[in-house]
Structure 1
Amino acid sequence: MTDQSPAYHYQVIARALKVIDATGPALTLEDLAAKMQMSPAHFQRVFSQWVGVSPKRYQQYLTLGHARRLLADRHTMLGTALETGLSGASRLHDLFLTWEAMSPGDYARGGAGLEIRWGWFDSPFGPALVMATVKGICGMGFADEVGAEAALEDLMRRWPKATYVEDPTALRPMVEAAFAGKATEMHLIGAPFQIKVWEALLAIPSGHVTTYADIAGAIGHPQAHRAVGTAVGRNPISFLIPCHRALRRDGGLGGYHWGLPRKRAMLAWEAARTDL
């Protein structure tokens, strides 16, 4: 693994996040680098390659208070975006224009008749499990917090009657395109209410956030905060459908299916790039 790989960069970020959580954000570059057994120059270079900002600036993005600042400064109201059919409302959505939702009947059959290929890949946020049908990416999860076996079981349980084939070679082109921000295809497999929530998530621009309450209002169920939160947590295509951009009304992070450190890292990574 080279110093240029996204997985290497993310491992550095993950270690730094744990150090910051344990010690606080007021660490000097020298102290933070020493705690991770790296030279300050090497540590700064890796950070700059990954997000383009200094470690000190990135520490600010990783703090819990950053979520509240995002909510105050970059709070996206979803109603208008959804009324315009999401067109142009989200840089991420613009990149993933082609997707197809499974019919309610097909969903109820638990994926029977579907062949789902899967594999493990390096990503900017650690080892990523990606699954796809012939119509596009249908699942994505991250292993750092839960472990590889648990992540695989988690996604397979969602479509228990599908046929699963390990085939990373077939998936690699679409996975590399997805993490490079290039157009790819997604196959949303979920209940109708879940798909409405996932469509709303696609309206949130990179570097911005919204609230569970806003999502509930945008899809026409203003009292369904808890149901929206459940649907957000069941999003099968993490990161590409940006459930990490949904926060509590008070600016708290809320939950994240693949671990809060992953959610914080994703928000920080996107905010830093937006500010460049």
Structure 2
Amino acid sequence: MKKISITLAVLLAAVATSSTAFAKEKVYKIATDAAYAPFSFKIDGAYTGIDVDVLAAIAKTEGFKYELTPMNFNGIIPGIVSGQLDGAIAGMTITKKRAKVLDFSNGYYESGVVPVVKADSKIATKADLKDQRFAVKKGTTSADWANSNRKELNATIRYFDDSASMFQEVINGNADVAFEDYPVIAYKISLDKTPVLKLAGDKLTSAQFGFGVKKGQNAELISKFNDGLAKIKADGTYEKILNKYQ
């Protein structure tokens, strides 16, 4: 009887340990930009895009779970730093400034800032940006570029929470030029049968998008992202995702 009791106790302990481990399975809270086609945007009530699909493919490959949290970009980095978010994949350019508070993955997409104007605008070069009215999205590298060049170009700047509002400001004639990541505006223009916007010259910068977490934390998640990214590039999944949106 004593032997049976000990065996039963061992089994119950094993079940309890297993149940506890299952209950504590980590679900990462990962942010993405709520409106940033072709990287993240909503179709028929569900989010899709390069960032959304890349994250899903990596999570599947590496076997981790996550809760996708779409939000305005300007709230993403504060959300990570405060601990409300575990990480973000949001068309986020890797910069020295951001690297002070975030740890980044390897770059997963090459981008760059370009000026965007109305289709009938005569603005065509950086020199033409002098004395113009800028529209920029808060918290972005596009906003950083506009701010750092404002004095040289004698420009005025207005800030917006999302790309759509920024572009509309240019379309309405309340701003002369907006600044956006090249793949975003190139995608938008490609969808328009009669484009009302156009690119004004070449990229002003060149940079990589990265997956970010709070500095000094979630090293395991960064490692999983990097490992998964390498795997989906090797097996062709990554290329298929890009081709879907280009």
TM-score of the superposition, structure 2-length normalised? 0.29
- Which structure has the larger Rg over C-alpha atoms? 2
Bigger helix share = 1
Larger relative contact order (Cα-Cα within 8 Å, sequence gap ≥ 6)? 2
Bigger strand share = 2
TM-score of the superposition, structure 1-length normalised? 0.27
